[in-house]
Amino acid sequence: MAATDASAGRSDEQAEGRSVTDERRSPRTEGSPRRPNDRAVSEFAGVAILIAITLLVTSSVGLYVLLEDRSYGEGPDANFTYDYVDESSVLIVTHDRGESFTAGNLTVRSGETSVAWSQLAGVENETLIEPGATVQLSRRNAFGREVSPASRVVVLYTPPAGNETVLDTWDGPER
C-alpha cells in the first residue's frame, strides 16, 4: 500500500498531484504519449474520412449519370462503296445497303472539307436516302476540291441533336 501523509491524509500519489484512479483507468503504454481512448478517436476519424470519400464518389457518379447526353444512338446501319477515278480526281460514293436516312443527316468529310450529302446530291435536307443513292466528290461540285489518292474520306451520320457517328471511311490507294 502507499504511504499516507499523516498531516493531510493523502497517499503519496495524491500528494504528488497524480490521481490513483486516473492511472488505473487510462494506463499509458511505454514510449507512447497516447492513451487507449485516443486510438478510438483515430479509428473514428478514419471511418469518417472513408464515408466522406464514398459519398463524394457516389454523388459524382450520380451527377454524371443525370447530366450525361442521352442521345447516344449509333446511327443508321449503312454500308457504302467507293469508286475512285484517278484521271479526274473524283470519288463516287454509293449508299450500297442498309437503313435509309435523310440527306441532311449525312456528312462527307475529308480533311478540312465537310459537306452535307444533300448539298452534294443537290436535294433537300429531308430527302430520304436509300440504298443505291450516289454522290460525287470533286472540285466541280459542292465538295469544292479534288480527291487525291492519298485522301481519307469519312461518311458521318450527323443527327440534329446528338453526337455524330462515323458510318464508313475510305482511304485512298496511296494511304
Regarding whether 88 and 38 lie in a shared domain, the answer is no
Looking at residue 90, its pLDDT comes to 93
What range defines the domain where residue 106 resides? 78-171
Regarding whether 135 and 89 lie in a shared domain, the answer is yes
Regarding whether 82 and 9 lie in a shared domain, the answer is no
Residue 84 C-alpha cell reads as 475512285
- In-domain check, residue 64: no
Residue 121 C-alpha cell reads as 446530291
- In-domain check, residue 93: yes
Strand blocks (E) in 111-151: 113-116, 128-129, 134-137
- In-domain check, residue 57: no
pLDDT beneath 50: ranges in the chain: 1-7, 22
- In-domain check, residue 150: yes
pTM above 0.85, yes or no: no
- In-domain check, residue 51: no
In the chain, the number of structural domains is: 2
- In-domain check, residue 70: no
Looking at residue 142, its pLDDT comes to 92
- In-domain check, residue 165: yes
Residue 53 C-alpha cell reads as 470519400
**Single-letter amino acid, residue 16:** E
Exposed, middle or buried by CB within 10 Å (0-12, 13-18, 19+), for 48? exposed
Looking at residue 39, its pLDDT comes to 63
Cβ atoms < 10 Å from Cβ of 107:
19
Residue 77 C-alpha cell reads as 446501319
